[in-house]
Amino acid sequence: METEGINKMMMEVREMADAKGFSAGEERIWEMLALIHTEVSEATDAYKKGADLDKVGEELIDAIIRILHLLSAMGVDAEELYQKKMEKNWSRPHRFNTVRGG
């Protein structure tokens, strides 16, 4: 069975990271989470400084790459998790879990 979707991207990221010497084991999960946070912070900073949206998007892609690398280290089926989470989100009411009033 051919791997598709998120799992295919996850495998591609893992292959590249391994080839470049970036390990991905359970002992690095905390560090990998921090690196994801760093990339999102870089996107936020770029946006606040008026960078064009391509630059902001590039930083967000860096975050996605780091997330895919982490998911590969965790050994999960990212495609299955994504599908289950989207199904759950679609079943929620409009503006689920927001504060109302004002």
Tell me which residue has tokens 């996605």. Answer: 64
Q: For residue 98, is pLDDT > 90? A: no
Q: Whole-model pTM?
A: 0.86
Mean pLDDT of 39-62: 98
Q: How far apart are CA 66 and CA 17, in angstroms?
A: 10
User: What's the chain's average pLDDT?
Assistant: 92
Domains of the chain: 5-91 (1.10.287)
Q: What are phi and psi of 33, to 5 degrees?
A: -65, -40
What is the DSSP code (8-state) at residue 92? S
